[in-house]
Chain A
Amino acid sequence: MSDRADEYRDATSGAAAADRAGGGRPPGGGRVPLRAPANRVARKAVTLWLLEQVFWSVVLVGGSFFLARWIDADRWSWLPLWLVDGIWWLPVVVAVLVVPGAIVEPFWRYAVHRWEFSGDVVYARSGWISREWAFVPVSRIQTVDKTQGTLERTLGLATVEIRTASHAGSSTIKGLDYEVAAVLAEELARRAEELRDDAT
């Protein structure tokens, strides 16, 4: 099983070898006694998350800008006066709240998101402020989906969704290189077929 893990490690352009405890720990704590999964997601995933964040930031800031313009033009009477007078602070406040998070999140996610397939178990870590570890044994997998959104397609990325009979036992690995995702999905499907366990 370890040779397969090596293969994946190579496939992810040698992003990271299996870290020992504390080696590749993301900032902020990490006392959970689980080692980090071996493989990082593709570096382009940062771009993907950044683009998504930029999109949502533009939507939010733009939306609050138009709202402010509307309120300012119509002088909404049921709002307190000080609020109407200072309404142009709204987009500024929204931008201050949203933009730093939008810039930090992709890099933070890149530090956290990792995955590994060894010992016939898929082990994935995800999240940024909150964190999630998922363990899905191949013997319980029901479907393996490889999906690509438009943005992912232009960046050559893909998402692997691993489903079991329970939503809590399922896992989604985002931001993989397309080839890595294809190989992983193929491998998972093949092993799942071999190890089919009808316990559930």
Chain B
Amino acid sequence: MAGQGYGPPPTGPALRLSPKVLLTDPIRMLPSLFLPLAGVLFIGGFSPGSFGWAAFGVVGSVVFAAVRWVTFTYRIAGDRLELTRALISRSVRTIPLERIRGVDVSNPPLHRLLGIAVLRVDTGASGDEKQEGELDGVTVEEAERLKAVLLWHARARMARRAQAQETARASAGPDLAAAPAAGPSAGPPGAAAPREARHEVGETTPERVFFVVPRKWLAYGPLSGAYLLTPFALVAGAVGLAFQWGSEFRIDGRTVVGAGEWLWRHPALLVGALVLLVLAMPVVGTVMYAVFNWDFTLRAREGYLVAERGLLTRRSVSLERRRVRGFELVEGPAERWAGFARAWAIVTGLGDSETRGQLMPVAPRAIVLDVVGEAIGPIATGLRAHPVAARRRRLFRAIFPWLVVAACAAVLAVAWSPIWWGLAAPALVLALLGVPLGLDRYRSLGHTYDGARLSVRSGSLRRSQAVVEERAVVGWTLRQTWFQRRAGLLTVVAGVGAGTGGYEAIDVGEAAGVAFAAEVTPGWLAPFVATETAERP
């Protein structure tokens, strides 16, 4: 890699998207066109004129797609990717190749049918969608070529800089070339990589599969709690559609309301439907989860971590390893009970990292740690517990609000009408449940630093532990509310230019909190730490 000459890349020709978008764009517009078209047909009473107008609408959308296709070009100009749209005014979006952090290629079903793909360029702008580039509808070959070229340029620049600085970064370089061919947890090679990546730049591609999630693990999906509510969402969607489109089919609101009332008078049916929906929860949840996480594969490919998943839409996310700063391990309540977990990468400048940075879907905790440990680094253990005052605060916050509600409701029940007991009783139960909840929240708290990476953990039911490299810390914020001051606690927030931006150690002891920050970045805090303080026990 280092031997190749990295001259300034030449300016490429201006390219258009695949003409097949002329097909996909109008089809994608169909749902939004359907209502107006149906409306026109109904209002026109299916007269020839109304068909004419409807046809006009369809043709219009095709023409619109064509104009968009003609006026949109993209090219790689020197060290920039330029996206030009010259419709009425001319707009050029310039993305410096240096700023490209990752390239996603996805194939929605329709695109896959036509052999085209959507390519998304991920730049450093955090949360600012305007800075991102999207090429919706390039051929699959072109997508792979562009991806290789874009990523190669980004990497070439990095190599140049590395040569100039001659500073060997410990984590970025050697792990790929020297990685053993098959780690202990590498998945079955046959199941991996149906499509090989095309690399026009002519490098050898040391590729390595970290893990392919076995299909039977898809059954564990509902443990995360995600997708469990899909049956209800589907029903709600159907009811919404009935109201929205009902008028088009001469079904007015009264009929729907009438149907609802009829259902209400037959509670057995209603209860039956509800039971059915509840029974459908795990099944539908599993199906949806399986559709999105089918054959989840995590692999390393030339300085990138690539995660692929999906059945209908195969989605591939490339994370530049140089920009990976750590990971977050998340365990929902059911997962904790069953010993499962999920993991996300903490990557600088990756917008929407909650969905895109996923390293492992629901899988046994030990295996998640194994895979993540190989791909990024081991998890920090031996978290330091937070003071007893923190437990008091967690308990108070879990119990007190419900106690207040219960007390108010009880007063109202005595003074007004006994119906308020209906509120007081559940509030009291919730207050009681607050005891184990508060204790659990306290047990979740912890922080540590092992000399290279800091780690903080917190969470109520959904426990989340972040492990972040020390060099990713860009600043510290220590916060203390009035209540925390009375309890002798404070919250330490490590500012990190990646992931959610800040990772909190909640309710650390005052001295321990300052010491934690000073331990991670001694140079920054040492001048300001008071050496002798009146430390009250």
A interface residues with partner B (beta carbon < 8 Å): 21-22, 28-29, 31-35, 37, 116, 118-119, 121, 123, 129-137, 140, 164-171, 199-200
Contacts and interface: CB of A to CB of B under 8 A. Distances in A.
Interface in B69-107: none
Nearest to A19: B530
A166 B490 CA distance: 20
Contacts of A165: 126, 348-349, 474, 497-498
Secondary structure class of chain B's binding surface, majority of residues? mixed
A34 B514 contact: yes
A32 B532 CA distance: 11
Given A33-B535, A168-B502, A135 B524 contact: yes
A33 B510 contact: yes
13 contacts: A33-B514, A34-B514, A118-B527, A129-B482, A136-B474, A164-B497, A166-B496, A166-B497, A168-B496, A168-B503, A169-B474, A169-B475, A170-B495
Interface in B479-537: 479-482, 485-486, 488, 490, 493-498, 501-503, 510-511, 513-515, 517, 521, 523-525, 527-536
A10 B293 CA distance: 62
B528 A137 contact: no
B514 A21 contact: no
A35 B475 contact: no
B477 interface: yes
Interface residues of B, number: 49
Contacts of A119: 523-524, 527
Nearest to B495: A169
A121 B524 contact: yes
A168 B530 contact: no
Contact of A132 (B474, B477, B497, B515): B477
A135 B476 contact: yes
Interface centre among A35, A164, A199, A200 (most CB of B within 10 A): A200
B535 A134 contact: no
B424 interface: no
Contacts of A29: 485-486
B532 A21 contact: yes
Interface centre among A21, A119, A131, A169 (most CB of B within 10 A): A169
A188 to B, nearest CB: 13
Contact of B481 (A33, A130, A164, A166): A130
Nearest to B497: A165
Interface of B: 126, 325, 348-349, 471-482, 485-486, 488, 490, 493-498, 501-503, 510-511, 513-515, 517, 521, 523-525, 527-536
B478 A32 contact: yes
Contacts of B475: 134-137, 140, 164, 166, 168-171
A81 B513 CA distance: 53
A41 B486 CA distance: 26
Contacts of A167: 495, 501-502
Which 10 residue pairs are nearest across A and B when measured between Cβ atoms?
A169-B495, A165-B497, A169-B475, A168-B502, A200-B497, A168-B495, A166-B495, A169-B474, A140-B474, A164-B474
Contacts of A166: 474-475, 495-498, 501-502
Contact of A21 (B325, B501, B523, B533): B533
Nearest to A22: B534
A167 B515 CA distance: 22
Nearest to B323: A200
B355 to A, nearest CB: 20
Contacts of A135: 475-477, 517, 524-525, 528
A33 B485 CA distance: 13
Contacts of B497: 140, 164-166, 169, 200
Contact of B528 (A123, A168, A170, A171): A123
